[in-house]
Amino acid sequence: MTDLIIETNQLCKSFKDKPALCSLDLQVPVGSIFGFLGRNGAGKTTTIKTLMGLLHADSGSASVFATPVADADRSVEIRRRIGFVTEDKELYPYMTVEQIIRFTRPFFPTWRDELAQRYMELFELPPKRKIPDLSKGMRSKLMLLLAISHQAELLVLDEPTDGLDPAATEDVLREMVAIAAASGTTIFFSSHQLVEVERIADHIGIIHRGKLVATGSLDDMKAQYQRLNVVLADSVSPPAHWPEGVESVRQEGRVLSILASHNVDAIVEQARAIPGSTVERFPVTLTEIFLEHTRSN
């Protein structure tokens, strides 16, 4: 059985009777780079805030490092082992870059000055500059520096590349992968950017309207999901019912486009049973999987 670093069971959270999380069962394996995907308002930030102890769940449970996050005393110990990058990347406006580093360092016994120095140089952060004078990209990099310089076992990154230019995005993604590869740090990050998630994540969770609608290893997902193009013979109608595993069927002229999430062989067999039809199988992208699960209803 895989060790889990984050686990939620039937986690629910509402804001003024509007459900934000509904029975969320999330499992993040140790050492993974877990991309947490969802549309705006799907519940990504609510999940992250609940894991960080910033929100209190209405029901269900959440644990990080096998420690319940609802326990205020023990959540301090959890936070000591986590590096967190917030969604809006705001830091104290009255501090400079070097002051915020000096401020953060003593909270973490595992802090390494040489790491902080390395990232200062790598990210080209000006030590004397006040935080409000930094661009959003620089603030993101500074938050990442603060999160990783204490050798966190788990990085929780809420939209780490949001608002960054392509060069800054590239820097951040490269470092995320390097950190995970070098130290085995687990990275749990939320994002809208499917291309970058597909590039670096090895595990995926898709949340829609507060529910986890798909999760698993990215490779397994891509292996399970396939698109089938079925070219029908003239005047042949497609079957009304398909085997289990068909997520969607679209028809354009004589071509049926089927997205299958599992049981692909049985679906192919049924498609081939249609007189005069030809069937082709294609791999799918993460974008297709995401869109399929997050279309309304």
Partner 1 sequence: MLCYKGWLETRFKLLFTLGFVCLNLSMMHSYSSNIKTSVLLFMVTLMSQMMVMLACGMLAGAGINTQPTFQAAKGLHGSTLFTLSLPVSRLRLLTVRACIGWLESVGFSAAFCCAMWFASPLLRAKVAPFDLFKYALTLIVCSSAIYLLSVLLATFLDEIWRIWGTMIAAVALGWLSVHTYLPASFDFVRAIGKNSPLYTHTMPWSAMAFSLALSAAFFYAALKIAQAREY
Regarding 164 and contact with partner 1 (CB under 8 A), the answer is no
At residue 192's C-alpha, the angle toward residues 20 and 258, to 5°, is: 90
Distance CA 171, CA 155 (A): 16
Closer residue to partner 1, CB minimum distance, 55 or 172:
55
Regarding 189 and contact with partner 1 (CB under 8 A), the answer is no
Distance CA 255, CA 238 (A): 10
* Binder among 80, 112, 192, 262 for partner 1 (CB under 8 A): 80
* Binder among 61, 66, 94, 280 for partner 1 (CB under 8 A): 94
Closer residue to partner 1, CB minimum distance, 92 or 282:
92
Least separation in angstroms between residue 111's CB and partner 1 is: 11
* Binder among 21, 26, 91, 206 for partner 1 (CB under 8 A): 91
Residues 157/33, Cβ–Cβ less than 8 Å = no
Regarding 104 and contact with partner 1 (CB under 8 A), the answer is yes
Regarding 86 and contact with partner 1 (CB under 8 A), the answer is yes
Q: Which stretch binds partner 1 (CB under 8 A): 63-71, 90-98, 187-195, 281-289?
A: 90-98
* Binder among 8, 20, 49, 206 for partner 1 (CB under 8 A): 49
If you search the block for the tokens 């799907």, which residue do you land on?
42
Rounded to 10 deg, the angle between the 97-104 and 113-122 helix axes is 150
Regarding 41 and contact with partner 1 (CB under 8 A), the answer is no
Residues 127/120, Cβ–Cβ less than 8 Å = yes
Q: Which of 59, 70, 69, 124 is nearest to 97 (CA)?
A: 124
Regarding 199 and contact with partner 1 (CB under 8 A), the answer is no
Distance CA 220, CA 217 (A): 5
Maximal C-alpha separation, the chain? 75
3-state secondary structure of 113: helix
Report the interface residues with partner 1, using CB under 8 A: 49, 52-56, 72-73, 76-77, 79-80, 82, 84, 86-88, 90-95, 99, 102-108, 143
